[in-house]
Structure 1
Amino acid sequence: MNITHKKILITGGAGFIGSNLCEYFLSHENKVICLDNFATGHHHNIKPFLTNPNFKLIEGDIRNLETCRNAVEGVDFVLHQAALGSVPRSLIDPLTTNEVNVSGFLNMLIASSDAQVKRFIYAASSSTYGDSVELPKVEDFIGKPLSPYAITKYVNELYASIFNSAYGLETIGLRYFNVFGKNQDPNGAYAAVIPKFVMQFINHESPVINGDGMFSRDFTYINNVVQMNEKALLTTNPEAINTIYNTAFGDRTTLLDLINYIKEFLTKFDPAIANVEVLHGPNRAGDISHSWASIDKAKKLLEYNPKYSLQEGLSEAISWYWENLKK
């Protein structure tokens, strides 16, 4: 079952996850509005949609309430992906991170509630688990946040809960775990680790692992994340609404294993990559040691069934990276 013939606002729609959501929902005969200020999103991610009559781009900032009100007009659902990501960036500039991720989020909640949007799905974060050492991570047990970014994403969850109880807005938060896939930007100081490593290997440059490489993550292919967003829109189970879900594959991989998988897949395209050395650097401030999601709640309440393991996702993603990052 798919969502069809709905009007969906995707904030941050020119970003990595947002553009994949735009593509998916357009392919199922929905009208899609993309709101983006292009601070971290890219025009090339949405270029294929610009000629689609069911696609509309609003270039604007969620920190402006009137922009948010304009964007939600007549919308059935909101998929709120817009945020200023990155733990390191938030440590350097906590003020801007808070303005976008908290004030901007609140603007979107207000606009969506006032416009009587049917449901508000938002990108939460595994960073909310903070210093909790419990594995796997279960939604109801979190620790203390370890960065300004993590604080903002937890505040989002608190605001979403209040907007349901006080104003009746249906909300669902999706705690993303280390998402990767096509359209993910490998450039810049805050690039995600997988496309950054891939680009370095393609250029025969030595990637640097933070620490000894034994930190582990629940790497999650973008198609699993798209599935979770649609499941969150489709559910009619009252118990499944107004809550938080881990959005992951439900397994963990060390950084050392990850980099070996990447090297193995890329060597099929360029055998010389097998000889590129991997370096080690210091641990990164604000990083958690291990991240591994329990997805039992999503399986039970949303009938979530992730199709792609890390290796299966990497196999698809690296073919895309090879064609697009070596240009």
Structure 2
Amino acid sequence: MKNDAGVILVIGGAGFIGSHTVDLLLQEGYQVRVLDNFSTGRRENLPAGAPRLEVIAGSVEDSNWLEPAFDNVRAVLHLAAQVSVQRSVENPVYSCEQNIVGFVRVLEAARKQGARVVYASSAAVYGDPEILPLHEYGPIRPISPYGLEKYSNELYAELYGRMYGLSQLGLRYFNVYGPRQDPNSPYSGVISRFIDQLRRGVPLTVRGDGLQERDFIHVSDVARANLVALTKSVDGVVNVAGGQTCTILHLAEMLIAMNDRPAEIHWVPSVDGDIRRSQADISRMRKDLVDPIVSLEDGLRSVKQENGFPNEAIASSASHAFPS
């Protein structure tokens, strides 16, 4: 039991990544406090009646909630953000207020409490890369206000580390997927959208030629990385990804092979700003945090179980699986 070590605060803990991390923290015996305004997070994502879990319905924008949320906190995992790239393009002022001003409020609260800060950055800081795989020390070229906001977070955190000695680590999440991911969320990845389309019996929508490459990581591996990040003195930024790529077309073919009824692909034009290729170098993740252990096929199986795909279909898809 780790109750005497102080509270772990998870801001945005009722969301997709947050709730899986809360489950793991509780499983490991930590005292956990969740601060969430439930604009996108869901109460049902959190275990009911867990004795070591406290839930506060509030926002980082309101000091009346933020200050008491940091009481006796040893470390904070900050996941709350405006996560829609498109919305950041359409309303950059609002996005900045949510993702930069809100982030600095969290840094200030953590500085006053003496708490470690682990926060969600994003692969969006890299923009459309020319050289792969992407290293943490490589070029930063965001192509959206959202990507720029995440990079600004990293700069603020690094500055707080130098000025105030704040212990801080940014996690550059790549394509996270798994159970509880809302297909209607602006952050939702292609896997949850494809699963939802299969469930509704409509064609899978593939943009352009479908050869865009993505680096997928299962949310359980992300939760493991979050836990270690909260409890180790690793500073700076770390890529959090699977370290391998899969094309969108191959992914669609895998899921169609898993389906219990015929499914088709609906081709639509590519969109401006769609990143062609993305792959992370995960050497630092493996060295300082965790080694991802969930293969793409096994990860899809977990999503299948949540959405009711038959076991036989999974077995028949093995020949289509991207190598683990």
TM-score (norm 2): 0.90
Q: Shift in Å at residue 21 of structure 1?
A: 0.8
Aligned to 2:124: 127
Aligned to 1:177: 174
Q: Shift in Å at residue 61 of structure 1?
A: 1.2
Which amino acid letter does the alignment assign opposite residue 270 of structure 2? N
SS at match of 2:66: helix
Aligned to 1:287: 274
- 1:74 correspondence with 2:72: yes
Name the CA distance, whole Å, in 2 between partners of 1:301 and 1:23.
22
Q: Shift in Å at residue 52 of structure 1?
A: 1.4
Which amino acid letter does the alignment assign opposite residue 262 of structure 1? L
Aligned to 1:27: 27
SS at match of 2:308: helix
Question: Any conservation in 2 of the 1:65–1:108 contact (CA below 8 Å)?
Answer: no
Q: Shift in Å at residue 314 of structure 1?
A: 1.1
- 1:255 correspondence with 2:248: yes
Match of 2:113 among 108, 112, 115: 115
SS at match of 1:13: coil
1:195-223 residue CA offsets vs partner (Å, 9 max, x unmatched)? 11101111111121122101111011011
Alignment of 1:211-290 (within 5 A): 211-236=208-233, 241-265=234-258, 267=259, 271-272=260-261, 275-290=262-277
The percent of aligned pairs where both chains have the same amino acid is 36
SS at match of 2:73: coil
Q: Shift in Å at residue 187 of structure 1?
A: 2.1
Which amino acid letter does the alignment assign opposite residue 257 of structure 1? H
Which amino acid letter does the alignment assign opposite residue 23 of structure 1? D
Question: Any conservation in 2 of the 1:45–1:183 contact (CA below 8 Å)?
Answer: yes
Question: Any conservation in 1 of the 2:117–2:168 contact (CA below 8 Å)?
Answer: yes
Name the CA distance, whole Å, in 2 between partners of 1:97 and 1:44.
27
Aligned to 2:104: 106
Which amino acid letter does the alignment assign opposite residue 312 of structure 1? D
Name the CA distance, whole Å, in 2 between partners of 1:142 and 1:89.
25
- 1:300 correspondence with 2:287: yes
SS at match of 1:100: helix
- Superposed CA RMSD in Å reads 1.6
- Unpaired segments ≥5 residues, structure 2: 310-324
Match of 1:312 among 290, 298, 306: 298
Q: Shift in Å at residue 250 of structure 1?
A: 0.4
Question: Any conservation in 2 of the 1:50–1:56 contact (CA below 8 Å)?
Answer: no
TM-score (norm 1): 0.89
Which amino acid letter does the alignment assign opposite residue 311 of structure 1? E
Q: Shift in Å at residue 169 of structure 1?
A: 0.8
Name the CA distance, whole Å, in 2 between partners of 1:215 and 1:197.
15
Name the CA distance, whole Å, in 2 between partners of 1:84 and 1:251.
27
Name the CA distance, whole Å, in 1 between partners of 2:142 and 2:302.
33
Question: Any conservation in 2 of the 1:219–1:249 contact (CA below 8 Å)?
Answer: yes
